[in-house]
Structure 1
Amino acid sequence: MALVVDWLDACRNRDLATLLDLYADNATLECRCGEPKISEGRAGLESYWRQRLDAPAPTAFGLEEIMPTTEGVVLDYLSHEGKPVRIAFSFTRAGKIQATQCLPVADLPQPAAGLQDYAG
């Protein structure tokens, strides 16, 4: 869970280099907040995150809840727009982020749905 807290801190600090260093070289990011988007590798992640860290909302990257799961960690937080989002993290054995999947909390099947219901 410490890596997820570091991830959130890098987002809050708008520190793109530190954020990217938390991901594995071949990491993937699947975002379903609006138009579905999949980003892969450092270049894809940089493109995705650069625009989101450029001018975040004042409430952006606020922690709502963090939950360990059998597959990794689930984080409920406020997006760069200040909207509630759930993101599921999985990790490499070396302790880097391998994959993330995010979805607006409003789109979850039920408010208390666990990662197994969301990230499969």
Structure 2
Amino acid sequence: MRDFDQMGIVVDWVDACRKGDLATLLDLYADDAQVECSCNGTQRYRGRRELETYWGPRLSTFSSAGFGLEEINPVPHGIDLEYSIAGALRIHASFRFSSEGKIYRTLCAPARQTPHDGCAC
């Protein structure tokens, strides 16, 4: 395995999401990468075309609603990330990498949700 900065790749992923930059986001993934999303039932997307279909509408939501980095941690086989959308909805994502330094798998699911401080609802 070649030496590359997994944490840096995920930080670049976060930056692309914040900017709504689909081309940059897709370039971080390997050509045969897979996203498995369990946020609204389990769905799988593989390859650049399917990832573009998955990420395109989400990025516009992220950039308009707000995308926040909550936690980022190295784990034995990659990086785990928790992010928020609109300051409330929290998502957990796990990233795995190819030997070429590209994301080859992302698994995402809702994270444990925390109520807003002082929320009256």
Larger radius of gyration: 2
* Structure 1 residue 58 corresponds to structure 2 residue 60: no
Q: Which has the higher contact order (CA 8 A, sep 6+)?
A: 2
Q: State the 1:78 CA deviation.
A: 1.2
Q: Which consecutive unaligned segments of at least 5 residues does structure 2 have?
A: 1-6, 114-121
Give the fraction of aligned pairs with identical amino acids, expressed as a percent: 46
- The structure 2 residue matched to 1:21, chosen from 10, 27, 43, is 27
Aligned residues, how many? Answer: 106
Quick one: distance in 2 between partners of 1:40 and 1:81?
Answer: 29
What are the equivalent positions in structure 2 for 1:75-114 lying under 5 Å apart?
75-79=81-85, 82-106=88-112
How has the CA–CA distance of structure 1 residues 55 and 103 changed in structure 2, closer, same or farther, with 3 Å as cutoff? closer
After TM superposition, the score normalised by the length of structure 2 is: 0.81
Q: AA paired with 1:14?
A: G
- Which has a greater percent of strand? 2
Indicate the RMSD between aligned Cα atoms, in angstroms.
1.7
Quick one: distance in 2 between partners of 1:103 and 1:81?
Answer: 17
Q: Which runs of 4+ in 1 moved over 2 A?
A: 54-60, 79-82
How has the CA–CA distance of structure 1 residues 10 and 80 changed in structure 2, closer, same or farther, with 3 Å as cutoff? farther
Q: Which consecutive unaligned segments of at least 5 residues does structure 1 have?
A: 108-120
Quick one: distance in 2 between partners of 1:83 and 1:102?
Answer: 13
Quick one: distance in 2 between partners of 1:37 and 1:50?
Answer: 15
Is the Cα contact below 8 Å between 1:27 and 1:42 reproduced in 2?
Answer: yes
Quick one: distance in 2 between partners of 1:8 and 1:47?
Answer: 18
Quick one: distance in 1 between partners of 2:100 and 2:73?
Answer: 21
